[in-house]
Amino acid sequence: MAEFARYAFPPNELGYCGPAGTVQLTDGTIERLTASASEFDGALPYLAALADSAGVDDPLDDAVAHGYWVGGSIQDRVDGVELLGRLRTAFHGQVTGLLHDVDSASAHHSFHVFVVYPWSRLLERGAGPALHVLQQCRVRWGTVQAVRGDHIELASPPLLFESGRLRLGEPVTETVRWRCGGASLTAAPRTGQLVSAHWDWVCGELTDADRAALEHATRRTLDMTNAARSR
């Protein structure tokens, strides 16, 4: 459950995912979910599909959660067409973006961000606000350039919207917090370390394999998103 909570905390803190205060960060540790995980209705269909495909009983198992937020071989076991059906049923009656314009789904958080959320459809109305939300809501990777108090300078590929298409650009430096009031989601970062970030929080260290998996899953979803937007 700790892996799910680390990545769920940043949007939950902002009121975007699950009921307010469900994931709490206290004294440098992540407390267990204080409300039913079923209230995280955005993530659950993906977690359930990943758990089913891996033969795992608990959809909040750390390996399952890691596959959803970061990626990896666990995703390859999920049938994308079957998952798409699950998602259309789960989000029936809700305002979505491109969910009915794709032929398959990916069991990754980036799919929920770019395809299920409506923001990708709003880019032409004002790319700035929509692009900002898409950039912050996706889990991204980067290299720590410097640690300055409670924040780090992170070199990470930004999300760009050019000629009607979403793509990743060359790394730029952004400021992300790793600690607040003495509490953090991960150990103190080090210069040169590869880490993940979600909204304005550092979530944890990544291995080279993790980074490759996260980039692969993100680029795959961007390809699906651009294809759906062009229809």
Cβ atoms 109, 103 nearer than 8 A: no
The pLDDT, as a whole number, for residue 17 is: 67
Percentage of the chain exceeding pLDDT 90: 72
Number of other CB atoms surrounding residue 48 within 10 Å: 16
Q: What is the pLDDT of residues 211-224, one digit of tens each?
A: 999 999 999 999 99
What band does 153 get if pLDDT is binned at 50, 70 and 90?
very high
Cβ atoms 156, 172 nearer than 8 A: yes
What band does 175 get if pLDDT is binned at 50, 70 and 90?
very high
Torsion from C-alpha of 156, 97, 219, 173, nearest 10 degrees: -10
The pLDDT, as a whole number, for residue 21 is: 59
Mean pLDDT of 48-56: 95
The pLDDT, as a whole number, for residue 4 is: 87
The pLDDT, as a whole number, for residue 5 is: 83
Q: Quick one: which H or E segment has residue 58?
A: none
Write out the DSSP string of 145-204. EEEETTEEEEEEPPEEEETTEEEE-S-EEEEEESEETTEESSSPP-TT-EEEEETTEEEE
* Residue 26 three-state SS: strand
Cα angle 161, 163, 166; round to 5? 30
pTM exceeds cut of 0.95: no
Measured CA to CA, the distance from residue 55 to residue 7 in angstroms comes to 23
